[in-house]
Structure 1
Amino acid sequence: MAENRLYGKCPSGHVFLVAKLPMELGKAAALAKRAACPNCGATKGIVVASPNKEQPHG
């Protein structure tokens, strides 16, 4: 089974890993709800990033 990853992007443009999938939907949703940028600390305005177009930082 291929491993997928869920990335987030903060308003500053930093792309970061939120969750490695597969995992239970409830756990993935909880991680996404609590996502915070490790570079700038932003917790609001986090959107899902496309790993094909965005390269994760760090």
Structure 2
Amino acid sequence: MRAAVDMMYVKGVSLTTLDDVRAASGTSKSQLYRHYPDKDALVRDVVALQAADVL
């Protein structure tokens, strides 16, 4: 999750791909897709984590 947060902060949400996150986090494709079937699911969790950090 932290890799996704960092990438989306640096590259922006629209330019960050699931493959980017997978490579940065060192996870396999199957691991990532088991938890996040699509980018929207990952973005939702990134937003929730950022909101929790702020609050």
State TM-score, norm by structure 2: 0.34
Query: Which has the larger Rg?
Result: 1
Question: Structure 1 or 2: larger helix share?
Answer: 2
